[in-house]
Amino acid sequence: KELVPSKVLELTEVEQSFKFEGLDAEPVPSLLRDFSAPVKLDYPYTDEDLAFLAAYDTDSFNRWEAAQMLGAKAIKDQYAAESGGDHAVSQGFAEAMRRILNDRETQDLSLLAYALILPAESAILETMTPPIDPVRLHDAWGAVRLSIAATLRADFQRRYEEL
């Protein structure tokens, strides 16, 4: 359920500014909502913005994409950590995954399931600069998966028992 109604901002110039008044905090834009054409968008979201969108966005695709971006960052961070060392996933990513897992308002559970899936290693490879060690990337992917599973074990168990 949207707390604030969606607003369409029409982009008519190469560069534009929009001013939002009467807000307690800077808004986090959920861009290209309900957009059906394949578009690649480069927007400087912070990790906090992505965690917010993954946890609360009412546009299912944007929610999934934010979770994918956070997951890819967690995996790349793990990859960059010293080989064999554990790099804990960010609190924001873990909390976003927890909120997705514990979402009771979304009727289509398949949308929640997709949002909980880590990005494919092949998708992450496309965003990395060679040389890339595929075994190390696979290990990083597995380490993030295990970290999320351990962190959210009780939440996964509770949700499983509800279903």
Whether the bond between 44 and the residue before it is cis, its omega within 30 degrees of 0, is no
Q: Please, what is the average pLDDT of the chain?
A: 90
| Whole-angstrom distance, CA of residue 108 vs CA of residue 35 | 19
Tally Cβ neighbours within 10 Å of residue 60.
Answer: 16
CA distances from 163 to 150, 153, 159 (A): 20, 16, 6
70-124-64-81 Cα dihedral, nearest 10 degrees:
-20
Looking at residue 131, its pLDDT comes to: 95
CA distances from 44 to 18, 35, 69, 74 (A): 16, 19, 12, 17
Looking at residue 85, its pLDDT comes to: 64
| Whole-angstrom distance, CA of residue 7 vs CA of residue 88 | 37
SS3 of residue 156 by DSSP: helix
Looking at residue 2, its pLDDT comes to: 67
Looking at residue 22, its pLDDT comes to: 84
Is residue 143 packed enough to be buried (19+ CB in 10 Å), middle (13-18) or exposed (0-12)? buried
Looking at residue 154, its pLDDT comes to: 98
- The tens digit of pLDDT for each residue in 91-125 reads 999 999 999 999 999 888 999 999 999 999 999 99
Looking at residue 124, its pLDDT comes to: 97
Low-confidence residues in the chain, pLDDT < 50: none
Looking at residue 86, its pLDDT comes to: 65
